Structure 1
Amino acid sequence: MDFESMSAEQLVRWTFQEFGEEAAIASSFGAEDVVIIDMAYRLGVKFRVFTIDTGRLPQETYDVMEEVRNKYGINVEVYFPDRERVEEMVRRFGPNLFYRGVELRRFCCRVRKVEPLGRALKGLKAWITGLRRDQSETRESIGKVEVDNTHGGITKVNPLADWTWDMVWSYIRAKSVPYNRLHDIGYPSIGCAPCTRAVKPGEPLRAGRWWWEQEKKECGMHF
C-alpha cells in the first residue's frame, strides 16, 4: 500500500478500519492534534484519544481539552506520571531541575512523559500522532506510516507529515476546530508551562520548547 500518496483523511480512516479499538490518537491538544481529532469525528469512525498529563501543563491546555470533549462527545483517556517517581525526583533534584542541564531535563521528560506514554501504548497495535516534517530538523524524514520499534513494533501513523503550518491553520479556521489559545499569542508548539515560551519573529516553530538548550531538542516520546 502506498501510504505516502494517501491524504490525511485516508490515513486516519485506514488506521481505525485496520486496527479498530487497538488504535488511538495521541493528543497534546496542540493545533495538529485537534485537526486529527476533528478529521476522525467527521469521518464517522469510532476512535480513541489519549493524552499525557505531566502535572505541569498550562491552564489553556486543560481549557481546550474540555472544549474538545464537549464538542465531539468523547472521553479523553488521561495518563499521569507515576506519583512515587515524581515525588522522588522532585525531592532529590527540586521542582525546576530541567533548567540545570540537558540530562536532568531529559530525566524529567522521561518520568513525566515517556514512561506514561509506554503505559498508554500498552495493548495498542497503532497510534496516530500530529508530527509534521517541517516542525524541526529531527522530524524531516518521518514517514506517514512507520514501524515504532521503540514500543514493540506497533504501527505509528503521522497523517499530517507532509502538511505545512499554514495548512493546519486553514483547516482549523475552515472547520471551526477548538484550539489552544496560547497559539494566539505566539506559541506554535506547547508543552509543559515552565518549558515553553512564545517564539520570536523569524524563529523556528519549536524554538520555544526548552529554549535554554542549544542542541536538537526532543522529549523522547518520539525519538
Structure 2
Amino acid sequence: MLVEHTLFGIRDKVQIAIDRIRQFEPPEGYYVAFSGGKDSCVTLDLVKHAGVKYDAHYNLTTVDPPELVQFIRREHPEVERHLPKETMWQLIARKGDLPLRHRRWCCAVLKECGGKGRLVITGVRWEESSRRKRRAMVEQCYTDNSKRYFHPIIDWTYHDIWEYIRSVKLPYCSLYDEGFERLGCVMCPMQHDISRDATRWPKIYEAYKMATQMGWDILKKRKDAKGEIMTWQSAEDWFNWWAYDRDGKGKENPDQTVMFE
C-alpha cells in the first residue's frame, strides 16, 4: 500500500519518493531514463510533481514493441527519443553473435548509453528480481564512473505501482491489458519463453531470423579462417537453439565466446 500505518506512524510512499527526488536534485537537473513501462511512467510523474529540473530520454532499440513506441509518442511527446548508431539486426550481423541471458551486450549498446556525467533517475525496484534487490537507492554506474543512478521508488511493490496509476489515472501502454507483465525488447533473451512475442510480432521475429543468417555467415568465415568447426550445422539450427532451447536443456553455445568488440 502506498500509505502504510506502522508502529512509528503513517508512511506515505508517494511523499517519501517526492522528498527523495527533491533532496538529490543536481544543479543541472536529472537525466530521466524513460522506458515507457509502468515503473518508468510512475517515476516520471513523480519527478514532475516534485517540481525539479529534468530532461527525459528514451533510447529506441529497434526491437521495441510498436505499441510501446506509439504510446510514448502519444502520451509523452516531451521525452527525447534517441536512435542507435546501429540497429539490433546490424549488430547481430556485424558481431556474428546473438545476445544471451548472461551476456546481454545489446543492453549496453542500445539502452544504457545515455546520461554520461549525469545523475540518472530510473524506475528500478527491489521487488523486480533477486539481482535488483541488491541495488542501492543511489549508486555509481559500474561501466561509466561519470554517471550515477538514482532509484526513488526502489522500495515500491508491484501493487504500489498499479495503485498509483489508478489513483491518479496515469496513462499506460495497452500491452499491459493484453497480459504482458513487463515491457521490453521483443524476444529479449531474459525471457524464458519467446513464443508469445514471436506470434505477437511476426515481422520482428522474421527480422531476427534474417539477422541470424547474416551473423552466421560472418561467424562461419571467422571459424573457417581459424580452422575451427561450427557447433551448429546451419543458421536455422543456431536460431532455433537461441529462440527455443537455450534454457530448456541447459546447453550453451561455445561459438558465442569470441565476438565482442
What TM-score do you get using the length of structure 2 for normalisation? 0.61
> Which runs of structure 2 are paired with 1:64-213 in the superposition (5 Å)?
64-70=71-77, 74=78, 76-83=79-86, 87=90, 89-90=92-93, 93=96, 97-98=98-99, 102=101, 106-113=104-111, 117-118=112-113, 120-124=114-118, 126-195=119-188
Q: Once superposed, what is the RMSD of the aligned Cα atoms? A: 3.0
Secondary structure at 1:81 match in 2: coil
Q: Distance in 2 between matches of 1:9 and 1:34?
A: 14
- Runs (4+) of structure 1 exceeding 4 A deviation are 210-215
| Higher-helix-fraction structure | 1
Letter in 1 for 2:139: E
CA separation of 1:88 and 1:127: change in aligned 2, threshold 3 A: closer
Letter in 2 for 1:15: F
Secondary structure at 2:131 match in 1: helix
Partner residue, 1:25: 32
Deviation at residue 51 of structure 1 after TM alignment: 1.4
Partner residue, 2:51: 44
Letter in 1 for 2:86: R
When structure 1 is superposed on structure 2, of 129-138 and 152-161 the one drifting more is 152-161
Q: Which runs of 5+ in 2 are unaligned?
A: 1-14, 197-242, 251-261
Letter in 1 for 2:109: V
Partner residue, 2:68: 61
Cα distance per residue 1:73-103 (max 9 Å; x no partner) = x2x2222322388525325648xx34xx557
What TM-score do you get using the length of structure 1 for normalisation? 0.70
Deviation at residue 34 of structure 1 after TM alignment: 0.3
Cα distance per residue 1:119-163 (max 9 Å; x no partner) = x12232x00111111101111121222232422153311111110
% identity of equivalent residues: 28
